[in-house]
Structure formats: structure tokens, C-alpha cells
């Protein structure tokens, strides 16, 4: 991501037992649409799974190379899915605890059914190139500063004298 890369998001995804398959999607569009191949990476999602993740446990489905297909609509329909499957089929992001899964924000992907009886929690950070639009800084509780001291990515953080109940304040602090 180069010098000055910064974190723009700190949240997570929980795939609960009994979940169903998500629609195939990208998390963001292309900065310059209709290029093929599209522009180099400007933002990545950094996923940190909290447990070993198997296919049965709801490992994310990933479509290699699709981040560079700039001339598709963000609404990925069955026709686009089947055409791409013929070129390069999807893979599953199976991981072990301690692994980090990094993908371009534009990569086609989807959540899959969690057929196990365990919740699959996955931290999600978004790292952006230095020139990317910066929204509000990410809010943390005072006292957490040390955790970011040696970070090579600018954490883009402020530390506040208040606590949040994130479970019930999902869109509050950072939106
Ligand atoms: O949690 C997952 O496995 C995928 C979630 C996802 O792609 C999303 O919510 O946009």
C-alpha cells in the first residue's frame, strides 16, 4: 500500500450457525469505472479470523482476479457469475487461527452458510493508500494508545474518554 497507508475501518463480521449464502458482491466500486484491466489496489480488507475457519464453518468465498474487472456493474448477476466461473472458479478462504486474509475491496466475494455450531468471528480492517479520502478518525477508548505504537499503517485513531457498547452502537461512533 506504500508510505502513508492508513486504516479507515475497524469492525468485524460474524457468520452465525444456520446462516444462508450471501449474494455475490464487491465491497466497493472502481475509482475509475469501465477500465479493463482496472486500476491498481487502493484499498484492502484485512480480515483476522478469531478461530480456525473451515468450509463447514462458513469460510468466505473469494473470486481470484475479479478486482481487476472494471467493466462490470456492481450488481453482479448470475450471468456475470457463470461467465467468470468458466474463466476462474472461486476459492474458499479457509484459515487457521493466527492467519490474516487480505483482499482488494473490489474482489467479488460472498458469505457462505455456517453449517457448524460455532460462531465465526472475523475482525475487519480497511487499509487505504495515503491519498484516499479520509473520513472521521476511528474512535477508541483512552488507554488503548500503546496497542498502535509500532503500527506501520497509520491507525487514523483518536482516543476518547468514553466507552461504547459496540454490540448496540454498530453504526454510531464511526459512521
Ligand atoms: O463474513 C463473511 O464471510 C463475508 C461477509 C461479507 O462479505 C459482507 O458482509 O460483505
What pLDDT digit, counting tens, does each position of 103-145 carry?
Answer: 999 999 999 999 999 999 999 999 999 999 998 899 888 999 9
Residue 72: band (very low, low, confident or very high) from pLDDT cuts 50, 70, 90: confident
Residue nearest to atom 2 of ligand 1 (CA): 111
Give the chain's mean pLDDT. 92
**What stretch of H or E contains 6?**
strand 6-15
Residue nearest to atom 5 of ligand 1 (CA): 111
Cell numbers found for residue 19:
446462516
Half-sphere exposure (Cβ direction) of 19: Cα atoms closer than 13 Å: 23
- Residue recorded with cell 486500476: 39
Domain 6-134: CATH superfamily, name plus number: q2cbj1_9rhob like domain (2.60.120.620)
**Atom number of ligand 1 nearest to Cα 59:** 3
pTM over 0.75: yes
The domain spans of the chain are 6-134
Q: How far apart are CA 141 and CA 148, in angstroms?
A: 13
Best mutation site among 12, 22, 43, 105 for ligand 1, i.e. most ligand atoms within 8 A of its Cβ?
22
Count of residues in the chain: 175
Best mutation site among 24, 26, 44, 60 for ligand 1, i.e. most ligand atoms within 8 A of its Cβ?
60
Q: How far apart are CA 32 and CA 71, in angstroms?
A: 10
Amino acid at each position: 500500500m506504500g508510505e502513508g497507508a492508513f486504516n479507515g475501518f475497524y469492525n468485524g463480521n460474524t457468520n452465525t450457525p444456520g446462516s444462508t449464502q450471501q449474494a455475490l458482491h464487491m465491497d466497493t466500486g472502481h475509482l475509475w469505472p469501465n477500465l479493463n484491466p482496472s486500476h491498481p489496489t487502493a484499498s484492502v480488507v484485512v480480515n483476522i479470523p478469531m478461530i480456525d475457519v473451515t468450509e463447514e464453518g462458513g469460510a468466505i468465498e473469494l473470486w481470484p482476479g475479479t478486482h481487476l474487472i472494471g467493466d462490470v456493474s456492481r450488481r453482479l448477476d448470475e450471468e456475470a457469475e457463470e461467465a467468470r466461473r468458466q474463466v476462474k472458479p472461486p476459492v474458499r478462504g479457509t484459515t487457521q487461527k493466527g492467519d490474516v486474509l487480505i483482499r482488494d475491496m473490489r474482489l467479488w466475494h460472498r458469505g457462505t452458510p455456517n453449517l457448524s455450531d460455532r460462531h465465526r468471528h472475523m475482525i475487519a480492517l480497511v487499509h487505504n493508500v495515503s491519498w484516499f479520502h479520509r473520513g472521521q478518525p476511528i474512535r477508541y477508548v483512552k488507554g488503548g494508545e500503546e496497542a498502535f505504537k509500532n503500527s506501520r499503517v497509520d491507525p487514523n485513531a483518536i482516543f476518547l474518554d468514553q466507552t461504547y457498547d459496540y454490540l448496540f452502537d454498530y453504526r454510531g461512533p464511526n459512521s
